[in-house]
Structure 1
Amino acid sequence: MDGPRGAGRPPERQIRAHGTERTITVYQAYPPGIGLPAVREGRFPAAWKRDRMTWIKPSFLWMMYRCGWGAKDGQQTVLAVEITRAGFEWALGAACLSHYDPRVHADTADWRRRLAAAPTRVQWDPERDLRLRPLPYRSLQLGLAGEAARAYADEWIVSITDATPLAHRVHALVRAGELQEAARLLPEEAPYPLARGLPAHLGG
């Protein structure tokens, strides 16, 4: 098994995530000086800048692509951050696409106005397989700034887990060619249930 979990090809844009009835798990990667205290305390340390945009990713394999399985400088600690669905859905509702899309925006000026006003932004990037090759459908990245970044850090977080050992185990199996075993270790990611489907302002 070299592709993502599950049968059939997902829609071009779909939110897929691991979670519970009340929470969703997103991934980030940080240097140990931020990541390890976050795991110990269950919240980000003072060194984590609440006035900067931060990007969260529901896709484990996209995070592995971004951080090189936890090997890239400054991204050695991979965090699985469990947040409330209420916070996540607020962020989706307040978001603007990070790039102009003529199917969504009246013109580029309309997009720029929306982007400047939005505390969150959405970017759709090709999902990745176990070898981190791009797949023909996309996964969500969610950028949080201003009030959204502060709410994420101070209100939405339920737990923070160190996912670095999992990243290293899966990577070792992929390098050994044990793709089925690697796939069995991946977090189960199901389509995120949105009552009315993906909102139009996010390209739905």
Structure 2
Amino acid sequence: MTSQYQVRADHDARTIVVYQAYAPAVADPALRAGRFVEPFSFHRMTWIKPSFMWLMHRSNWARKPGQERVLAVRMTREGWEEALSRAVLTTADPAAVARAAVHVQWDPERSPRGTALNHYSIQVGIGRHLIRTFNDDWIVSLTDLTPQVRKAASLLQAGQAAKARRLFPAERVYPLPPALEDRVSRAVG
């Protein structure tokens, strides 16, 4: 797998952190429960992103309507790897994509200012038939990063990028097992 398509994430020996952004109506009950609960939809795909910066781009630093709350979802590495083992690239044969439990796409990674970089970030869509497993078995904890996100955005706007960067989660290359590396790299080749 080329360095352009490496999975980069905040991870430890047991877990990996992925990010999602929601409206307060979804985030608040989830944070209280430590899991996603209604009104979170268990009937449609949910996208998880191990790149903090990509989600900042996507949610406009928690300012986009419906994405005002940024959650760090700590999940088991076993669950992450199980999801990837079921993944099909979104640009694959449409029939294969329609049947897939998990969708994967690679999007340009983003700088703090939103500029597209020359390497890619993986996005993983957990399909509705696997969401309960994701929620009930794979999630270890949920953390509200919204205050940290807002502070970092203010620092960036004030021209204090170095101070803002101190608030970003540390991400490094996630060591995919060879079979999974082959599976997700086939998705880009």
TM-score of the pair, normalised by structure 2: 0.93
Output the amino acid matched with 1:49.
S
- CA drift of 1:90 comes to 0.4
Question: Corresponding residue for 2:169?
Answer: 187
Q: Distance in 1 between matches of 2:49 and 2:133?
A: 17
**2:146 aligned partner, one-letter code:** T
Q: CA deviation at 1:51?
A: 1.4
| Alignment: residue pair count | 185
Query: Does residue 1:130 correspond to 2:112, yes or no?
Result: yes
Deviation at 1:199, TM superposition (A): 2.7
Decide whether the 8 Å contact of 1:129 with 1:135 is kept in 2.
Answer: yes
Output aligned runs, 1:1-204, within 5 Å.
11-100=3-92, 111-196=93-178, 199-204=181-186
Matched-pair contact (CA < 8 Å) for 1:95–1:121:
yes
Q: 1:197 offset after TM fit, Å? A: 7.1
Q: Per-residue CA shift, 1:44-77, capped at 9, x if unaligned?
A: 1221111100000000010000101101111111
TM-aligned CA deviation for residue 201 of structure 1: 3.0
Q: Do the aligned residues in 1 keep the contact of 2:85 with 2:180 (CA within 8 Å)?
A: no
Kept in 1: contact 2:49–2:123 (CA 8 A): yes
Whichever residue aligns with residue 153 of structure 2, its letter is H
- 2:16 is paired with a residue whose SS is strand
Amino acid at match of 1:29: A
Name the SS of the counterpart of 1:143 in structure 2.
strand
Task: Tell me, in whole angstroms, the C-alpha distance in 1 between the residues paired with 2:54 and 2:182.
Answer: 24
Question: Alpha-carbon deviation of 1:195?
Answer: 2.6
Shift of 1:32: 0.4
Letter in 1 for 2:156: V
Question: Structure 2: where are the runs of 5+ without partners?
Answer: none
Identical positions, percent:
44
Flag the structure with larger Rg.
1
Q: Which region of structure 1 is more displaced relative to structure 2, 43-52 or 84-93?
A: 43-52
TM-score after normalising by structure 1: 0.86
Equivalent AA in structure 2 for residue 192 of structure 1: Y
Moved beyond 4 Å, runs of 4+: none
